[in-house]
Amino acid sequence: MSIFDIVGPIMVGPSSSHTAGAVRIGLVARRLLGEEIKSAQILLYGSFLATGKGHGTDKALVAGLLGMKPDDYRIPHSMEIAAERGMNIEFGEAHLKEAHPNTAQIRLTGVTGKTLEVIGESLGGSRINIAQIDGIETNFSGDCPTLIVHNLDQPGHVSEVTSMLAHKSVNVAAMQLYRSARGGRAVMVVECDQEIPADGLKWLEKIEGVLKVTYLSKSEDGGSHEV
Amino acid sequence: MKYNSIQDILNICEETGKPFWRVIMEEDMQESAMSETESFEKMREMYRAMADADRNYDAGLKSESRMTGGDGQKLHEYNEAGRNLCGDFVGLAMEKAIKMGESNACMRRIVAAPTAGACGVIPAVLLSYQELYHTEEDRMVEAMFTAAGIGNVIAMNAYIAGASGGCQAEIGSASAMAAGALCYLQGGTNGQIASALSFALKNMLGLTCDPVMGLVEVPCVKRNSAGAVNAIAAAQLAMAGIVSAISPDDVIDAMRRIGNAMHPSLKETGEGGLAATASAQKFMQSEP
């Protein structure tokens, strides 16, 4: 733990878990979608549902979807800003089983019609975990550049991804594999020390058996994109 | 050079002859791969963000729940009216603590130290000290490192979140951090810093986290002023040469054990204590 987790972060109040963490969940969801959001369905669970309004969790999640960071002065006005930008937002209750008490389930539709569903958990002290993407379990913080590959559960896809990363001199910090069922759909989550170049992502997309490539970039304006 | 306890920090200071704050900074530079300038300037940014938040206090704001707002202004007016019961330093610190707690509840920008709920304690003590004694900013930044090191040891060995350890972990930790930092500013020895943080935390042991409706408002905002005053009292005791009978690491350990023993209804669930009172129920019914 850095001492700047003890004194810091600079954030808009009132709660590091219910406000700052919620902004970060929204922001990661936006970056994962990789384009402007046309409409968002935000479903809240547990403490987010029970005390979220008083903590500004609703405004914070929307602020993140608009691309704001946890210290952005405009967070309290995110609903108005979303309306100005024509972003359609709908709130509801998430029906999840045994989820973390501070959980949001977010369904996004982008301007080109691209869709994404993310389940994010706020763990406290503004740290978050992305627990699900498009119905498949994941487990990453969004603190590093993160590659998410949906593929068919068949041999060889892990080595294709890692050899591409090796070729691009990208070091793997953590790697996780999940699948819905044997021979079904699988997901690879690869957290990296460096950014992955766009041509590497494009190459992955063309591989037979790879269904979807999603990339969370940490670079400010480059943003993330799905190829 | 890694430290895990206050005693480790004191030992490293003794062996290397380096001040408390520098030991904290250098360890973090190693951990975070930062240069000395980057680390010091980042901490300066935190201090300046605290000062900005204090300056930007808006007495007209009300929180979403309507429970919080405007009390910092009342304290300011009372202080200005020449009737200050507490003296200049304590009076100003209380005012700044309430203002920061209110700003947090009203979704303004603050610095979590160690948490958002306890964000008023450290700036209240440090900004008031600088305002009254005109201390140079670099020395204030050094005091911030002192506070951060104390908080880091508490986080490693106990808790800094109310949901984990009750309010003793939030306001208690912030108060211990501020007490140590204040001792440093007053020219206290490392031993005096250790005693000050021990006094501050001991006074806060057992404090529960039972806010109304689970919101960071009642009693959190006013606890920030209590944490600030407690920090000043603790530093005063230590600077007078009084030594804590219980070592700082033992006090931190006691805080952890008390936190473990605390009933879940008293750990940020909004179910027990003050949250379960008739007065609290009234607020819940009138929620917009």
* Nearest CA distance, B62 vs chain A (angstrom): 12
Touching A: B residues 191-220, CB under 8 Å: 213-217
Interface A-B, measured as beta-carbon pairs within 8 A, has a size of: 125
Average pLDDT on A128-157 reads 92
Q: DSSP string of A198-217?
A: HHHHHHHHTSTTEEEEEEE-
Closest CA to A147 of A203, A65, A220: A203
- Interface touch A55/B49, C-beta < 8 Å: no
A44: chain B residues, CB-CB within 8 Å: none
Give the pLDDT confidence score for residue B159 in this predicted structure. 92
Q: What percent of chain A has pLDDT over 90?
A: 73
On whether any CB of chain B is under 8 Å from the CB of A51, the answer is: yes
8 Å CB contact between B204 and B230: yes
What's the mean pLDDT when you consider all of chain A? 91
Average pLDDT on A133-150 reads 90
A2, A11, A53 member nearest B110 (Cβ): A11
Give the pLDDT confidence score for residue B1 in this predicted structure. 60
Q: ipTM score here? A: 0.95
Average pLDDT on B174-179 reads 98
Pairing of strands A115-124, A102-110: antiparallel
Give the pLDDT confidence score for residue B85 in this predicted structure. 93
Residue that the structure tokens 């300038």 belong to: B37
Give the pLDDT confidence score for residue A226 in this predicted structure. 39
- Chain A: residue nearest B67 by CA? A54
On whether any CB of chain A is under 8 Å from the CB of B148, the answer is: yes
On whether any CB of chain B is under 8 Å from the CB of A80, the answer is: no
Answer whether residue B228 shows pLDDT above 60: yes
pLDDT, tens digit, 9 for 90 and up, residues A190-225: 999 999 999 999 999 999 999 989 899 887 544 444
Write down the pTM of the prediction. Answer: 0.89
Answer whether residue A35 shows pLDDT above 90: no
Nearest-angstrom CA–CA distance, A61 and A71: 13
Every domain range in chain A assigned CATH 3.30.1330.90: 3-133
pLDDT, tens digit, 9 for 90 and up, residues B46-69: 999 999 999 999 999 999 999 999
Element (H, E) at A220: none
Q: What percent of chain B has pLDDT over 90?
A: 90
A3, A9, A53 member nearest B24 (Cβ): A3
8 Å CB contact between B135 and A32: no
B63, B109, B111 member nearest A8 (Cβ): B111
Pairing of strands A88-93, A37-45: parallel
Nearest-angstrom CA–CA distance, B49 and B261: 36
Burial class (CB in 10 A: 0-12, 13-18, 19+), B197: buried
| Chain centre distance of CA B221 | 12
Nearest-angstrom CA–CA distance, B6 and B195: 11
pLDDT, tens digit, 9 for 90 and up, residues A177-194: 988 889 888 989 999 999
Distances (CA, A) of B42 to A72, A208, B19, B36, B206: 18, 47, 19, 10, 34
- Chain A: residue nearest B66 by CA? A54
Average pLDDT on B123-132 reads 98
On whether any CB of chain B is under 8 Å from the CB of A16, the answer is: yes
Answer whether residue B42 shows pLDDT above 90: yes
Nearest-angstrom CA–CA distance, A55 and A74: 15
* Nearest CA distance, A166 vs chain B (angstrom): 24
pLDDT, tens digit, 9 for 90 and up, residues A43-88: 999 989 988 888 999 999 999 999 999 999 999 999 999 999 999 9
- Interface touch B104/A125, C-beta < 8 Å: no
- Interface touch A13/B119, C-beta < 8 Å: yes
Nearest-angstrom CA–CA distance, B3 and B141: 21
Domain A146-226 class, CATH top level = alpha beta
On whether any CB of chain B is under 8 Å from the CB of A86, the answer is: no
pLDDT, tens digit, 9 for 90 and up, residues B12-24: 999 999 999 999 9
Q: What are phi and psi of A115, to 5 degrees?
A: -120, 155
On whether any CB of chain A is under 8 Å from the CB of B152, the answer is: yes
Fold of A3-133: 60s Ribosomal Protein L30; Chain: A; (3.30.1330)
In this prediction, residue A20 has a pLDDT band, given cuts at 50, 70 and 90, of very high
Every domain range in chain A assigned CATH 3.30.70.260: 146-226
B115: chain A residues, CB-CB within 8 Å: 16, 125
For A222, residues 6+ apart whose C-beta sits below 8 A from its C-beta are A195
- Chain A: residue nearest B156 by CA? A1
A4: chain B residues, CB-CB within 8 Å: 28, 32, 42-43, 46, 148
In this prediction, residue A34 has a pLDDT band, given cuts at 50, 70 and 90, of confident
* Nearest CA distance, A76 vs chain B (angstrom): 6
Closest CA to A134 of A116, A151, A146, A148: A116
Both tokens assigned to B161: 């979140």
Give the pLDDT confidence score for residue B205 in this predicted structure. 98
On whether any CB of chain A is under 8 Å from the CB of B112, the answer is: yes
A16, A19, A51 member nearest B213 (Cβ): A51
Type of residue found at B123: P
What's the mean pLDDT when you consider all of chain B? 96
Q: How many CA atoms lie within 13 A of A78 on its CB side?
A: 29
Give the pLDDT confidence score for residue B203 in this predicted structure. 98
